Amino acid sequence: MTDPLARAKPLLPGLAVSAVVALSAMFLAEHYGAPVMLLALLLGMSLNFLTQEEGGQMNRSATGIDFTAKQVLRLGVALLGLRITAYQVMALGWQPVAMVVLAVALTIVCGIVLARLMGFQMFFGLLTGGAVAICGASAALALSAAMPKHPKKEQATLFTVIGVSTLSTLAMVLYPTLTKALGMDVVTAGYFIGGTIHDVAQVVGAGYSLSHEAGDAATLVKLIRVAMLLPVIALAAMLARRQMVTNGEAMSGPRPPLLPWFAVAFAVLVVINSTGWLPAAVVSAGKSASQGCLIASMAAIGMKTHLKDILTVGWKPVALMVLETAFLAVLFYGLLVFLPLN
């Protein structure tokens, strides 16, 4: 039997580098207010030489960086389940929950349709649409982990993270002013912000910039969107499994599971967290660990990518994400207007 320490030793240099980059990104984000995922990505890309060959041999950090980009990412997604409880869902009532479910589903459908019309694969539309509809960079990483292998998968993930982080920051600045211009009351404005801005941090920033009440409403609605991550991951896994079977890939090895392990762990943690049995300190530590894992994996993905790969994507992916964001905003505003909240 292989010694676990011996197996872990080759991973340590890459894990250490990813952790240092993640801590650096968190420090910069805290002091300068920039999106932490975007900072981790850019810092990681500046160190992409760590995953290149040196004299015909791969850099000693490459193995650990690849492990971080894949397995640590999955752990971070699983721990996202500690952000949500069944009580939070029930406290909102059925109308906001129905709005969120409808908005997420239609935005993803919109993304897939637009992607196909622009000549992209369905999975790229699911990736970008899911990131816009659910929780930004975290959703992009989670969906990417459930999707089938593809030569441009990491490039697509990186572009989606950059795009959704940029659009989320713009929305954080613009949407509070937009809610005032549209004459929304504070609770409705909170629902709109929670239902449309991509990343959790930007939702919190925009919501509480209006009022404490708007911030609370925005955060709760946003958590319902985060809960939609599980069924969308299940959809991505099902489609990936179907593609593998169609291509005959499943015949050469074990059949892929109906749900990836991190999606099952996500659901289990939501259930456990809903019981109230977990001490607050454990839940808080789990949330912090989830954020740390996702940031480190984003840094690792950046280290595996060249900037030129991002610069060659063209205008169509940019247009796709802008259209998805606009569609979500218009749709959710329409739902708030035509569906009563009380």
Mean pLDDT by 10 residues, the chain (342 residues): 69 92 93 82 86 69 88 86 80 83 95 94 93 88 83 82 85 90 91 91 82 84 85 87 68 54 84 90 92 88 73 79 96 88 60
pLDDT score at 223: 80
313 contacts: CB under 8 Å, gap ≥ 6: 155, 159
| pLDDT number for residue 4 | 66
Q: What residues does 58 pair with on adjacent strands? A: 53
Distance CA 23, CA 40 (A): 9
Residue appearing with tokens 């009022």: 211
The residues, any chain, with a CB within 8 Å of residue 249's CB and separated by 6 or more, are none
Identify the pLDDT of residue 251: 42
pTM: 0.77
User: What pLDDT shows up at residue 250?
Assistant: 47
Q: Structural domain boundaries of the chain?
A: 13-338
Q: What is the pLDDT of residue 253?
A: 46
Q: How far apart are CA 182 and CA 333, in angstroms?
A: 10
Residues 111 and 123 sit within 8 Å (Cβ to Cβ): no
| C-alpha separations of 186 from 80, 174, 189, 214, 218 in Å | 28, 16, 5, 5, 10
Q: What is the pLDDT of residue 129?
A: 95
Asked if residues 106 and 331 have their Cβ atoms less than 8 Å apart, the reply is yes
Distances, alpha carbon 55 to alpha carbons 52, 59, 277, in Å: 10, 9, 54
